[in-house]
Structure 1
Amino acid sequence: MKRLSLIFLVVFSMLLSACALNSSGDNESKDSGEKASTSAVKDAKGKSYKATDVSALPDKAKARKDTFIAGISAPGGVFLPYFYENGWDGNATTPIFAPLVDLDKDGKPVPILAESWETSKDQLTYTFHIRKNAKFSDGSPVTANDVAFTLKLLHDPAYNGYQDISLAAIKGGKEYKEGKAKTIEGIKAKDPQTIEITTDKVNAKALLILGGQVLSEKYYGKDYKYGKLDYLKDLYSKPLGAGPYVFSKYVPGQEIRYTANDKYYAGKPKTKNLIYKIIDKATSLQQFETGELDYAGFPADDDTVEQLKSLKFANIKVEPVNDYGLIYVNNTRPQFKDKEVRQALLYGLDRQKIVDVRFKGFGQVADIPVSPVSWAYNNQGVTEYKFDPKKAKKLLDKAGWKTGKSGIREKNGVQLKINYLTSDAEDAVIPIAKENYQDIGVKFEPDITDFNALVSKLTKKNYDFAAVSTSQILDPSDTVEELATKNPNNYMGYSNAKIDKLIQEGLGTLDITKRKEVYHELYKEFTQDPPYILIHYRQSARAISGQIEGLVPDNYTGIGSSLPNISIKK
């Protein structure tokens, strides 16, 4: 099963680390707060509250001298990068597997297993220099052959995981995948520490794709045969990587245990043991209060923040999250093909009220398809859709949808009805949309279903509206690629030639200044011809036990980049 490129329905997130190698920039933006609903969300940097009395720590927490415990939601037990389908397994693999390149807190690439890299003048060839002291946890060195093997696996015709390696356009990759070549022409191991990778086209995301987590050829490739990857399933629960921690034990429904890797290139992590404790929304705050967790993330609201502050032993960070919520609109449905109808449905929905009800001052109405903390965020000159029922009615009249005897608008004998898919029985959209849309002559019917059924209907385009949320955004292209007419993951059936062109232009240069200009133009076109209904940007409250030092969660790697530096105050 291919992982959905954008959809990651989350009502509750522990914010451990990036779930997958998708991408978007996460930088500060001077414009990020201009449309904020309250002062609580105007600062993209968020607010911090320091622990006032560390001695108030629960005894359970005080008793831990060499173990750090963080909350995680629902891992599935596939602890192998590129092969898991559950995003929480992505969190679980982060401590075990290190990439060549990662992102810093501002979304900029930084070297990890690669000591450095160069890009050719034509921006088509990447040369990575692997650290001489980079080793897997079994003591074997990380080499160019391991990188080559990893990329070869992703090109294997039997591979059907979430990573679309074709985006990197490695020279000869397509021929290898189709069985027309026995090697991938563009991958050359120059020496044990140097690998050169040549691509066929410039792609701004190529660096992170090529520089992803490295798999050991000695361990994962010993039984490799072209076109046959089932052998890897036996290794899903026995991971071996070059990250800061070594996998120790997985107890389904309870926890994942790790021990510090003394072979890690940057030195053995300061804290000997790491535990990801499996928790749920109902008990996570209580577990943090009682000292069962050293770190957890929560949906931000006044009650939660005040409760965390009252504990006195917690360091708290309240800040915007690098994602957004939206409602998919099925553009293949006859009633939604007309952009005037989609515009009317935006004007006719009180999104500010939805945000206020759902986030109580810790969210804002989303205006463009990227997070306000992204370096690409720029809402200047975009079309605004402030709640305006009169304008909505005029647009529907213009589009030929006239109010019938029942009070519901009709066109060619068909009523304007919306079936709304959601997996949240308490979805704040339901009562507000029902009332708003009834006022403009549109019938709104909620359809509460489970997650898997919702995804199934989306992939088959068997829906009208559907509530979704993006996964963590690493690159601004991630959230708009699915809008491309020919993208197989375009579950909205949207098509706009100008958007298609701008998507390619945004990926076709490594110059961030040019990319900013392209995405700004794209956002203006997006709001003029809206493919779906943007709803919210949100904030989270991240709580860290006062005795923990060196943990600095960010919007790109979560706590992943901090793991080697975490220590416990004596």
Structure 2
Amino acid sequence: MVKKKLMMLVSLMLVLSVFLAACSKDKEKVEGVEKEKPDSEKIEEVENTEELSFPVDVSNKDAVLEDGELVYALVTDDPFKGTLSPVFYDDTHDATILSFFSESLLAGDGDYLITNDGAATYDISNENKTITIKIKDGVKWHDGEPVKASDLLYAYEIIGHPDYTASGYVFPTNNISGMTAYHEGKADTISGITVSDDDRTIAITFEAPSPSILSGVATDPVPRHYLGDVTKGEITIEEIEGSDKIRTKPIGFGPYKVKKVIPGEAVQYERFDDYWRGKPNLKSIVLKVVNSATILEALKKGEVDIAGFPTDQYLNAKDVDQFELLGKIGFTYTYIGFNLGEWDKKNKTSIMNPKSKSADKRIRQAMWHAMNNEVVGKEMYHGLRVPATTLIPPALGFHDAENKGRSFDPEKAKELLDEAGLIDVNNDGFREDADGNELIINFLSMSGGEVAEPLAKWYMQNWNDVGLKVQLLDGRLHEMQAFYDMIDTDRPDIDIFMGAWVAGTDPDPSDIYGRESFNNFSRYTSEKNDELLKAGTSEKAFDVEYRRDIYNQWQEMMVEEVSLAPTLYRHDLKAVNKRVTNYSIDPGSPNSDIWMWGVTK
């Protein structure tokens, strides 16, 4: 699978992504926010929140009902985008939709390392620079055609194509021998990829060996025969991306086929009887969008069977009889991002702007120290979220638990702002910039969710308290697609933005924070960042302790530089109707595979 920002939802994945922290409509600018902390007496607190724990498997062990049907809720307040292709999708909602009908050739284990248990097997050779993948017998596309090695080659030909603009061209894909020349239009083929005569085996050779091959190699094929061939001029990249064949009539080789798509609203799946693993348990699945405000009632009524559950409704759901809650600290972390530059489309690299309002890292450090994330986690999210410390979440084995990040310390924040020359010149309660001019920080955030409005106001009040005048961009919150459009186009009047990343299964963070990654939305760059990211994927990094040390250094550097200020790690909750069986959110469990899911009545 293409290792993107959303790895969690595709394998839980995988997600991840990208789901962004939500905020609902707020008509007031920061000047209109009362300079008082929210009345915490009105928010029910949860004691001993550090002891919260949840099962990862359903309790129902009854026999699977033959030809059962299941309804899966995509909990969102916006329509899904519907770019249903593993090489073009760009958010967690589409990733979830894909997971029912599309899959990678290579499976992963509980540590997110590739195995031979999937639709193909692999071998590593050539001093760890070549991976050879052989497709097993009986692996078919939903239209009955065999899945070929050349279909995986086609995925790479699309991702590496000069006209490709989605976010799949990241490491280790861009480390494939000959990929750079192909991507720059200097070669018609990718020299590092060869396909066997029987079209069952593909060998991919990389410029340099890297442990990311074992956790981040992309093995999602694309049906060349169905979409048309870009390399022969039959269709363009733009035409594929807008085609009904990836919007409303996509095919894959996963356990369920797409029967019908109601754009933005629902997807109906039917069982793929020729699935390579065997006959899936369920006859059909319906995935439908359910508003976060109504999901609890839908679960109580049995209208949906499985749903990602909003943590802000936890207190109302934890004792409901109709379903059970599964949960674990996941890959997601929310953050405050800073607009530090722009994306150079021609050279495909981030460029920092020294005139950015937050160009001085002391301002970014101060804004992190000013945020009281512990209150948010305990009172707004009932203990289901905890203050984040680094940009590698605890779900990954390379999280530095010794690094405490930047704690809530408003006095330290004030000191840093003073040092940066941000002083309240006219005694109006707000600081001017280093040149003595009025400083207004425009804050972009997304609409949706019950906690969102108080969350946005809370952070604005936190910054207000240390003398920073922060106001919502355009005086309001923005729906999800508009939010992404503004981020993707580097709208210049965005100063800070609130979002979330779902980290990939590969611990390499370069696809979010690398100089040449479009997903580096803050546009932060530095030679030290380049050096550490390169070292973390080098041949030496096959030594786990060496790699751990590199990523500890990287986390420490980012706590100092604050290209993003991480705010919260979270429990990922799934609400599951008690009629569901063979379901798990543990990536090491066979019941995490969708074809195993079933119902008992």
Q: How does 1:385-534 map to 2 (within 5 A)?
A: 385-406=406-427, 407-410=429-432, 411-424=434-447, 426-447=452-473, 448-450=476-478, 451-458=480-487, 459-478=490-509, 481-485=511-515, 487-508=517-538, 509-534=541-566
| Match 1:136 to one of 124, 137, 141 | 141
Report the 3-state secondary structure (helix = DSSP H, G, I; strand = E; otherwise coil) of the residue aligned with 1:505.
Answer: helix
Unaligned regions of 5+ residues in structure 2, if any? 19-45, 341-352
Distance in 2 between residues matched to 1:354 and 1:522, nearest whole Å: 27
- TM-score by length of structure 2 reads 0.79
Q: Tell me by how many angstroms 1:180 deviates.
A: 3.7
Report the 3-state secondary structure (helix = DSSP H, G, I; strand = E; otherwise coil) of the residue aligned with 2:328.
Answer: strand
Q: Is the 8 A contact 1:100 1:112 kept in 2?
A: no
Residue number in structure 2 paired with 1:296: 307
Report the 3-state secondary structure (helix = DSSP H, G, I; strand = E; otherwise coil) of the residue aligned with 2:115.
Answer: strand
| Match 2:178 to one of 172, 178, 194 | 172
Q: Tell me by how many angstroms 1:7 deviates.
A: 9.3
Q: Tell me by how many angstroms 1:239 deviates.
A: 2.2
**Residues 266-294 of structure 1: per-residue CA shift (max 9 Å, x gap):** 10111121221221112222111111111
The residue type equivalent to 1:497 in the other structure is: E
The reply to whether residue 279 of structure 1 matches residue 307 of structure 2 is no
Residue number in structure 2 paired with 1:355: 377
Distance in 1 between residues matched to 2:154 and 2:404, nearest whole Å: 47
Q: Is the 8 A contact 1:134 1:264 kept in 2?
A: yes
The reply to whether residue 195 of structure 1 matches residue 202 of structure 2 is yes
Residue number in structure 2 paired with 1:330: 339
| Match 2:14 to one of 18, 21, 24 | 18
Q: How does 1:48-87 map to 2 (within 5 A)?
A: 66-72=68-74, 73=76, 74-85=79-90, 87=92
**Residues 93-144 of structure 1: per-residue CA shift (max 9 Å, x gap):** 2222221123334323234544421222532111112112322233332232
**Residues 8-58 of structure 1: per-residue CA shift (max 9 Å, x gap):** 9x9xx9997635699xxxxxxxxxxxxxx9743457x7456976999xxxx
Report the 3-state secondary structure (helix = DSSP H, G, I; strand = E; otherwise coil) of the residue aligned with 1:323.
Answer: strand
Equivalent pairs counted in the alignment come to 538
The reply to whether residue 240 of structure 1 matches residue 248 of structure 2 is no
**Residues 363-386 of structure 1: per-residue CA shift (max 9 Å, x gap):** 111110122221111131x35422
Distance 1:249 1:365, change over 3 A: same
The residue type equivalent to 1:281 in the other structure is: S
Q: Is the 8 A contact 2:366 2:413 kept in 1?
A: yes
The residue type equivalent to 1:316 in the other structure is: L
Q: Is the 8 A contact 1:49 1:315 kept in 2?
A: no
Q: Is the 8 A contact 1:153 1:159 kept in 2?
A: yes
The residue type equivalent to 2:124 in the other structure is: T
Q: Tell which deviates more after alignment, 151-160 or 543-552.
A: 151-160
Distance 1:14 1:306, change over 3 A: farther
Distance 1:350 1:15, change over 3 A: farther
The reply to whether residue 259 of structure 1 matches residue 259 of structure 2 is no
Q: Is the 8 A contact 2:249 2:261 kept in 1?
A: no
Distance in 2 between residues matched to 1:97 and 1:330, nearest whole Å: 35
Report the 3-state secondary structure (helix = DSSP H, G, I; strand = E; otherwise coil) of the residue aligned with 1:428.
Answer: helix
Q: Is the 8 A contact 2:339 2:523 kept in 1?
A: yes
Q: Is the 8 A contact 1:481 1:503 kept in 2?
A: no
Distance in 2 between residues matched to 1:555 and 1:403, nearest whole Å: 52
Report the 3-state secondary structure (helix = DSSP H, G, I; strand = E; otherwise coil) of the residue aligned with 1:336.
Answer: coil
The residue type equivalent to 1:225 in the other structure is: K
The residue type equivalent to 1:199 in the other structure is: F
Report the 3-state secondary structure (helix = DSSP H, G, I; strand = E; otherwise coil) of the residue aligned with 1:503.
Answer: helix
**Residues 426-465 of structure 1: per-residue CA shift (max 9 Å, x gap):** 4334433344333333222233231344434432343222
Q: Tell me by how many angstroms 1:528 deviates.
A: 2.2
Distance in 2 between residues matched to 1:199 and 1:352, nearest whole Å: 44
Distance in 2 between residues matched to 1:173 and 1:319, nearest whole Å: 38
Q: Tell me by how many angstroms 1:424 deviates.
A: 3.5
Distance 1:440 1:299, change over 3 A: same
Distance in 1 between residues matched to 2:136 and 2:329, nearest whole Å: 35
Distance in 2 between residues matched to 1:487 and 1:53, nearest whole Å: 45
**Residues 191-243 of structure 1: per-residue CA shift (max 9 Å, x gap):** 43321111213344445664422223333346863472455314222222211
Distance 1:260 1:224, change over 3 A: farther
The residue type equivalent to 1:521 in the other structure is: Q
Distance in 1 between residues matched to 2:184 and 2:419, nearest whole Å: 51
Q: Is the 8 A contact 2:393 2:503 kept in 1?
A: no
The residue type equivalent to 1:84 in the other structure is: Y
| Match 1:186 to one of 188, 192, 206 | 192
Aligned-residue sequence identity (percent) comes to 23
Distance in 1 between residues matched to 2:50 and 2:460, nearest whole Å: 27
The reply to whether residue 369 of structure 1 matches residue 391 of structure 2 is yes
Report the 3-state secondary structure (helix = DSSP H, G, I; strand = E; otherwise coil) of the residue aligned with 1:109.
Answer: coil
Distance in 2 between residues matched to 1:481 and 1:53, nearest whole Å: 40
Q: In angstroms, what is the RMSD of aligned CA positions? A: 3.6
Residue number in structure 1 paired with 2:236: 228
Residue number in structure 1 paired with 2:574: 542
Distance in 1 between residues matched to 2:356 and 2:331, nearest whole Å: 33
The residue type equivalent to 2:443 in the other structure is: Y
Q: Tell me by how many angstroms 1:565 deviates.
A: 0.6
**Residues 233-270 of structure 1: per-residue CA shift (max 9 Å, x gap):** 14222222211112211234553111211211110111
Distance 1:101 1:284, change over 3 A: same
Distance in 1 between residues matched to 2:154 and 2:405, nearest whole Å: 48
The residue type equivalent to 1:162 in the other structure is: S
The reply to whether residue 379 of structure 1 matches residue 401 of structure 2 is yes
Q: Is the 8 A contact 1:155 1:165 kept in 2?
A: no
Q: Tell me by how many angstroms 1:534 deviates.
A: 1.7
**Residues 527-547 of structure 1: per-residue CA shift (max 9 Å, x gap):** 122223221112233121222
The residue type equivalent to 2:71 in the other structure is: I
Distance in 1 between residues matched to 2:230 and 2:112, nearest whole Å: 37
Distance in 2 between residues matched to 1:251 and 1:115, nearest whole Å: 33
Report the 3-state secondary structure (helix = DSSP H, G, I; strand = E; otherwise coil) of the residue aligned with 1:470.
Answer: strand
Q: Is the 8 A contact 1:49 1:316 kept in 2?
A: no
| Match 2:153 to one of 139, 144, 148 | 148
Q: Is the 8 A contact 1:114 1:128 kept in 2?
A: no
The residue type equivalent to 1:495 in the other structure is: T
Q: Is the 8 A contact 2:329 2:395 kept in 1?
A: yes
